[in-house]
Amino acid sequence: MSLTEGILCSKSHEYLLEKGGKYIIGLTDYAIEQLGDIVFLELPDIGAEFVKGEVFATIESVKAASEIYMPISGKIVEINEAVVDNPEILNESPYEKGWLVKVESETAHIDSIDLLEYEDYKEEIA
Amino acid sequence: MTKKTFLHDEQVKLGARMIEFAGWMMPVSYSSIIDEHKTVRENVGLFDVSHMGEVYVYGNDSLAFLNKLVPQEISKLIASKAVYCQLLNKQGGIIDDLIIYKIEDEKYLLIVNASRIDEDLNWMVRNSLGFDVKIDNQSHNYSLLALQGPRALDLMDKMGVKKENQPEFFSIKRAEIFNINLFVSRTGYTGEDGFEILVKNEFSELLWNYIIETGKEFNLKPIGLGARDTLRLEAALHLYGNDMDEVTTPIEAGLAWSVAKNKTADYNGKEVIKKQLENGGEKKLVALKMLERAIPRHEYEIFYNNKKVGIITSGGVSPVLNENIALGYVNNIKEICLGSIVQVKIREKLYKAEIVKKPFVQKKNKETQK
């Protein structure tokens, strides 16, 4: 199975993957490649709630700091502590090991309407 | 219209990611900024810095003319030597920082920042009235390559410029590499030993490819502007536009070491500089090391006892120290000194930082900077 199978992507380069009723959020391989060496991540607290489009995290490469936006509305139920300690994991594995947060969402099916399947996303950014 | 250096296509072939910088398409990185940074600290890296400006000053009054423009003592400069200078306005503010090379009597080469070529030329022309000088902008005819790192000397030797013939620190020599006539100077912007190579545009591609090829056994890699920035920050070397501008004097910028203390000749900004040599300026440049996990960046605010006292002008990660470092300006008050704890405002939160000595990473070249 391809790593990008079933994921949905936003035009601001976040990806969303539904797994067991929760939604995994991360950054696409394209976004990571553009950013270069990732050196710092600031993730939200568990329990924090965000609406679609809101900034929920910050990522810093050697060059600059960038904001990460919620692709859907929801509540943070899990964060990836490993990437906070070792941000370079994102460069190595943006999909498998380099996910950022898991959320619970009541409105994901509506919120994800404007998200793109990976192939369409690649075409959009090309 | 964005300009391209003569090495643009070669860099793209090597996988460079190109960005616009100071009106030029330049490589920001070839692989990873951190990897390129470490290559320069451990082996040797090759940079294309052809965007930088080259201006010759000739004529009977060239020495007197240059002495009016900068607070350094140009009359002490002997042929083949170079000096780090600042071009000052009447208020002592820095129009640009540059290196002046004395090629021979009445012939000097000025290497200036790409973003400042027009301002520099305008200012020089305005100041040239009454001087018998010719200001000759040759920026469009020359490419500039930098070869930096501990193995640069061995590589240069291998390329035919034998160690005994290599220029000393802050000197320039005519040389020949791969049958190409060029200038080699022992200068750079990384804190490492190494060279800058000035070559006519028509030979730059040939030279670039020869260095890439010959450099393989020295683990040479091409290096982009991303690593150039992290390297110079570790060495606490200033970036014009960030750490210096027209409302900042060399004294405020922590460059008093470079200024002649008893220069007799008159120069632009002399009154201000003389006063500031005694008492300091309005603000002072400090080096910061973060004590908490957060990255300081350009334009973040600096606080002391919860009051805003300054601003970060350059900041980021140090790949060698694995710490977060910055240069910034604070109000010139004596309470803020080496060892002081200040705070940096990052995304609305305050994080502790310590004022530390410059440079962050000890320089490997022979510069004697206090």
A62:B297 CB<8 A: no
Tell me the three state secondary structure of residue A82: helix
A63 touches chain B (CB under 8 A): yes
**pLDDT for A99-109, tens place per residue?**
999 999 999 99
What residues of B are in contact with residue A40 (Cβ under 8 Å)? Answer: 293-295, 317
Q: What CATH number does domain B282-356 carry, 3.40.109.10, 2.40.30.110, 3.40.50.800, 1.10.3210.10?
A: 2.40.30.110
What is the length of chain B? 370
pLDDT at A1: 54
CA–CA distances in Å: residue B100 to residues B57, B192, B234: 10, 20, 24
A60 touches chain B (CB under 8 A): yes
Question: Which stretches in chain B have pLDDT values below 50?
Answer: 368-370
B295:A37 CB<8 A: no
Residue B258 token pair: 């470079």
* CA-based nearest residue to B353, from B341, B366, B367: B341
A92 touches chain B (CB under 8 A): no
Enter the CATH code of domain A9-125.
2.40.50.100
Give the orientation angle of helix B33-42 with respect to helix B225-234, to 10 degrees: 60
pLDDT at B370: 32
Spatial separation of the C-alpha atoms in residues A69 and A25, rounded to whole Å: 10
E strands, chain B, in order: 3-4, 17-21, 24-29, 45-48, 53-58, 82-88, 94-104, 107-112, 134-137, 142-148, 172-177, 180-185, 194-200, 221-222, 283-290, 301-304, 307-318, 323-331, 341-346, 349-356
A40 touches chain B (CB under 8 A): yes
Could you tell me the residue ranges of all domains in chain B?
3-52+140-234, 54-118, 282-356
What residues of B are in contact with residue A58 (Cβ under 8 Å)? Answer: 347
What residues of B are in contact with residue A55 (Cβ under 8 Å)? Answer: none
Tell me the three state secondary structure of residue B227: helix
Instruction: Collect all residues with Cβ–Cβ distance below 8 Å to B342 and sequence separation of at least 6.
Output: B288, B302, B303, B304, B309, B330, B336, B352, B353, B354, B355
Say which amino acid occupies B310.
G
Tell me the three state secondary structure of residue A71: coil
> Which residues pair with residue B280 across a beta bridge?
none
Percent of chain A with pLDDT over 70: 99
pLDDT at B154: 98
- Closest-CA distance of chain B to residue A34, Å: 9
Spatial separation of the C-alpha atoms in residues B55 and B271, rounded to whole Å: 27
CA angle A3, A4, A10 (to 5 degrees): 145
CATH topology of domain B3-52+140-234: Gyrase A; domain 2 (3.30.1360)
pLDDT at B367: 52
A36:B347 CB<8 A: no
B295:A39 CB<8 A: yes
Query: How many Cβ pairs closer than 8 A exist between chain A and B?
Result: 34
**pLDDT for B114-172, tens place per residue?**
999 999 999 999 999 999 999 999 999 999 999 999 999 999 999 999 999 999 999 99
- Closest-CA distance of chain B to residue A105, Å: 27
pLDDT at B16: 97
Q: What CATH number does domain B54-118 carry, 3.30.1360.70, 3.30.70.1400, 1.10.357.10, 3.30.70.360?
A: 3.30.70.1400
* CA-based nearest residue to B198, from B25, B53, B343, B362: B53
* CA-based nearest residue to B40, from B222, B239, B196, B167: B222
This model of the complex carries an ipTM of 0.88
Q: Nearest residue on chain A to B293, judged by CA atoms?
A: A40
> pLDDT band at A5, cuts 50/70/90?
confident
pLDDT at B366: 65
* Residue linked to tokens 């004596």: B334
Could you tell me the residue ranges of all domains in chain A?
9-125
A120 touches chain B (CB under 8 A): no
The DSSP string of B231-299 is HHHHTT---BTTTB-TT--TTTTT-GGGS-TT--S--TTHHHHHHHHHH--SEEEEEEEESSS----TT
Residue B259 token pair: 């200024």
What residues of A are in contact with residue B293 (Cβ under 8 Å)? Answer: 40
A62:B347 CB<8 A: no
> Which residues pair with residue B329 across a beta bridge?
B285, B311
* CA-based nearest residue to B54, from B230, B239, B185: B185
What residues of A are in contact with residue B226 (Cβ under 8 Å)? Answer: 36, 62-63
